[in-house]
Structure 1
Amino acid sequence: MRVSAKVRRQIKHRKRNAAGAKLNLVSLMDIFTILVFFLMVNQSEVRVLQNNKELTLPASVAESLPKENITITVQANKILVHERLVWQGRDKQAALTELDKIKQSIEQELKFHLDKKLQNGSIKAPESGWPVTILGDATTEYALLKEVMAICAEVGYRDLSLAVEQKSKPVQAS
């Protein structure tokens, strides 16, 4: 039996479509690749130093991003060095009366971290001193912050940074 051209075309069309629909993943992969690169590039723009609800940092218009280094958290009734509690007291005034105890515990913890860095032997001390970031609560006495900064300088952590919350700059009307 002879088959007409129309029937042959219909049979060919049915065979081609019988395999089912094919999903083209190339464009989907392109989109996800672009998304991954976008997220990798932009993830470094935000740095979170602390996740403590009790700590309120002072506000500032500073634009420089914090570096990854040792952090000292100074609150009214406790002091933490790199998330480790080194002193805890009753209130603000207790910190000012127990400065010797605070100094000893902060020095001990900073020296411990410094010894860990120097165990390699390949790392040399920077000329400006080792970096440290101080997260001082907005209600912390300045005298206590000043004392903590002096302790850091004595141990060799002279590259001091004070952490602040970034506030937006005032918009000037033109």
Structure 2
Amino acid sequence: MKQSLRAKRMAKHHRRLNQASKLNLVSLMDIFTILVFFLLVNSGDVEVLQTDKSIKLPASFSEQVPENNLVVLVSATDVVVGGRAVGTVTDLIASTSDLYAPLQQELKYQAERAGPLAEKDKLTGRPVTIMADQKVPYQLLKKIMATCAAAEYRDISLAVTKKELPANSGGGG
């Protein structure tokens, strides 16, 4: 049986309506691309030192952001330089010298790997960040800082957890 043009047009229209709808992913991919670029551009502003869970850093109102330096990590049990264990805190306490020899050897090794100092940096020395647990006694920190200074790491920073300034501590003027 022959169909009229109107019947053919109506059948074509009904077939089009009964088809399953298709998901258009182009706009969704555009949104995700924009989101990825946004995250990449804005993620470079924050620098955070990787901390060990066994270390609880002291709190401070410091406004200076950390730099990416060599890190000397002092936990309750170990002394670690750049991810390599150097010694234990008990050995550090037992040492009668003002310098801790295993730490000094590791720092000299790290300095050799980094290359020679520039003329302008010879006075200040190489930068190092000390991350020590807040319960580490000052005598141990003093020994670690003296060892760092003896190994040409005289630009010493101590890592702390940043505290927010109280609201009423504005400059009185």
**TM-score tier after normalising by the smaller chain length:** 0.7 to 0.9
Matched, 1:135 2:136: no
The equivalent of 1:85 in structure 2 is: 85
Shift of 1:133: 0.7
- Aligned to 2:144, which of 144, 148, 157? 148
Shift of 1:41: 3.3
* Whole-angstrom CA distance in 1 between matches of 2:30 and 2:139: 57
The equivalent of 2:97 in structure 1 is: 100
The equivalent of 2:34 in structure 1 is: 34
- Structure 2 residues not aligned, in runs of 5+: none
* Whole-angstrom CA distance in 2 between matches of 1:18 and 1:100: 87
* Whole-angstrom CA distance in 2 between matches of 1:147 and 1:99: 10
TM-score, reference length from structure 1: 0.76
Instruction: Verify the 8 A CA contact 1:87 1:102 in the aligned structure 2.
Output: no
Q: Secondary structure at the match of 2:66?
A: coil
1:88–1:16: structure 2 CA closer, same or farther, 3 Å change rule? same
Q: How many residues align?
A: 164
* Whole-angstrom CA distance in 2 between matches of 1:9 and 1:99: 99
* Whole-angstrom CA distance in 2 between matches of 1:15 and 1:172: 72
Superposed CA RMSD in Å reads 2.8
The equivalent of 1:59 in structure 2 is: 59
* Whole-angstrom CA distance in 2 between matches of 1:2 and 1:141: 97
* Whole-angstrom CA distance in 2 between matches of 1:33 and 1:61: 38
Shift of 1:19: 6.0
Shift of 1:100: 3.0
Shift of 1:147: 2.4
Instruction: Verify the 8 A CA contact 2:70 2:129 in the aligned structure 1.
Output: yes
- Aligned to 1:163, which of 156, 159, 162? 159
Instruction: Verify the 8 A CA contact 1:76 1:95 in the aligned structure 2.
Output: no
TM-score, reference length from structure 2: 0.77
* Whole-angstrom CA distance in 2 between matches of 1:46 and 1:12: 62
Instruction: Verify the 8 A CA contact 1:86 1:102 in the aligned structure 2.
Output: no
Shift of 1:164: 0.4
